[in-house]
Amino acid sequence: MKVALYARVSTSDKGQDSEVQMVPLRDYAQARGWAIYQEYIDNGISGAKERRPALDHLMADARRRLFDAVLVWRFDRFARSTRHLINALHEFRHLGVAFVSYQENLDTSSPLGEAMFTIIGAMAQLERDIIRERVKAGVARARARGRQLGRPRKVFHRDQVERLRAEGLSFRQIGERLGISPALALRLCRNDDRN
């Protein structure tokens, strides 16, 4: 089995180098009889960054199915958030690429690791559902208190649109003058024509 090794040393880890992570990963791969396809290392890059050169390269190579597994030191060295981890694990699963975390002892190529992946995915879904319910409850509470949500409505009268149109202004000019879209000005004129 070909394995890709990934390590990240953040900017806050002054004096630390990636070998602290890579040496045990190499030993682990050798003990399992895996051939190391390539080592992907992001040095001095925060895990919060959306774009990381080595991680982006690893994901591109995974999509080309150049290796069978990804081996990382810990989840937090790989993913910037739980959502990022779950999305990557889903993508690896779809590609048939196993994911192994050395410190957390998670290996999605084993039945137990696959079960753990399912549990992690269920917990992430639960987290999303809880957040959604909190937002709905907050919106309902705000409405019950009489708060108007969304953009404030523009106050104008339809007769203003008709008057400006009669003066020869275009719908764009009417929209600019009244602070509404040209499409709304057109629609208001059409509605008045139908009445």
At 78, which CATH number?
3.40.50.1390
Neighbouring CB atoms inside 10 A of 6's CB total 25
Count Cβ neighbours within 10 Å for each residue of 37-47 and write b for 16 or more, e otherwise: bbbbbbeebeb
Q: Give me the domain span that covers residue 173.
A: 158-194
Q: What three-state secondary structure class fits 87?
A: helix
Q: Which residue has the higher pLDDT, 46 or 39?
A: 39
- Tell whether 90 and 163 lie within a shared domain: no
Counting the structural domains of the chain, the total is 2
| 177 within a domain of the structure (yes/no) | yes
Tell me which residue of 62, 48, 60 sits closest to 8, measured CA to CA: 48
Write down the catalytic residue from 10, 18, 46, 181. 10
Mean pLDDT of the chain: 84
pLDDT digits (tens, 9 = 90+) for 129-178: 888 899 899 888 988 998 888 777 766 677 888 888 889 999 899 888 88
Task: Work out whether strand 2-9 and strand 35-43 pair parallel, antiparallel, or are unpaired.
Answer: parallel
For residue 14, is pLDDT > 70? no
| 140 within a domain of the structure (yes/no) | no
Decide: pTM greater than 0.85. Answer: no
For residue 191, is pLDDT > 80? no
170 tagged catalytic: no
Q: Residue 52 to residues 10, 40, 78, 79, 149: CA-CA distances in angstroms?
A: 11, 10, 10, 11, 38
What is the predicted pLDDT for the residue at 50? Answer: 64
pLDDT digits (tens, 9 = 90+) for 83-114: 788 888 889 989 999 999 898 888 887 788 77
- Tell whether 99 and 11 lie within a shared domain: yes
